[in-house]
Amino acid sequence: MRTVYFFMSILFGIQLFSAVNIVFAVDWNLEDETSKIEWGLEEEPPVKYEWGLEVQTVAHKKSDSIVLHYDGKAWSCIYNAYSMRLNSIYGFDSGNIFAAGDNGIVLHYNGNSWIKQETYTTSRLNRIWGISPKNVYISGDGGIILHYNGTEWKKQTMMTTSWFSSTWGLHAKYIFIVGALGKILHYNGKKWIEQDSGTINWLHGVKGCSTDTVYAVGDYGTVLRYDGKEWEKIMLNTNKRLTSVCVLDTNNVFVVGADGLILHYDGIQWTRQRSGTDNWLRRIWAIDCNNIFVVGDDGTILYYDGKKWNKKKSNTDYLLLGIWGNKKDDVYVVGINPK
């Protein structure tokens, strides 16, 4: 009888142990799945997922800077730069592109490779603009203005140490540079002349479409308009930093800035457009009114088709600071490693 009880006790123990194990295993799996689902909802809310602004998968190497290219279908990394931080890019065709950044770095792309050019400066270079591959300007910190004649870069003597943020021109004798404390310089083909901006706010972007329609944007919601004679301040209902402006014509102006802000002017009024992100937007570039790109923090790339803004997957989490393109299927972007 004792033997029977002994074997029955063993059998009962085995069954109990197995049952407990099964409960433990099931509970662990449920907890794990719940945790993953909750984490996913917290990190990737519906709005960000819809616009492709979730954490990007970085396919490229962890370089200091990258150059991305868009072929009309997808963005891909075409160049990894080390020991340099690229802030701006500008070109004339797919075989003639310039990129610039910290410590006076300038790279030139000839269609096959990126080649470093000597600039004889260690200043940070912030924005590039040019008329042709033999007539290019770069503005930067410490009042630096560089000019390229197709052979070499030369400094232009300036009586200022202001930090310059952006450069744009209509032609060789009509160029603007804007920067710190509301500084605006205008080049008339012979010399640079300082203009009265009417503000001490830092200006980050400048662009126009004619001699009497030029815009500059900056801190605290600053928007200035130049009519060919003087700068006028436009009052908008925002105090956010405005980083870049795009002027397609007198009735079609876009401004981007902090916290995903996109503003549009239709010739009558300014309205806010839905960007689908709260990431900072750094630069806007238009091929035409139906092909407009915006780049920003955390690999953000937005595309406007003339009706609404849509996401483009960049496959990077870098800070995207500069963009240029001459066709809707041939666009380039530079960015820096945020870490």
Tell me how far apart the alpha carbons of residues 74 and 183 are, in angstroms, rounded to a whole number: 38
Q: Is 80 exceeded by the pLDDT of residue 291? A: yes
Kindly report, residue by residue over 243-266, the tens digit of the pLDDT.
999 999 999 999 999 999 999 999
Q: Is 70 exceeded by the pLDDT of residue 223? A: yes
**Calculated CA dihedral for residues 31, 37, 42, 48, nearest 10 degrees:** 170
Whole-prediction pTM? 0.82
The answer to whether 144 and 125 are in contact (CB under 8 A) is yes
Which residues, at least 6 apart from 309, have a Cβ–Cβ distance to it below 8 Å? 262, 273, 274, 275, 276, 294, 302, 303
Q: Is 50 exceeded by the pLDDT of residue 155? A: yes
Tell me what percent of the residues of the chain surpass a pLDDT of 70: 82
Q: Report residue 67 as tokens.
A: 């150059």
Question: Domain 56-336, CATH 2.160.20.10 — does that match?
Answer: no
The answer to whether 243 and 280 are in contact (CB under 8 A) is yes
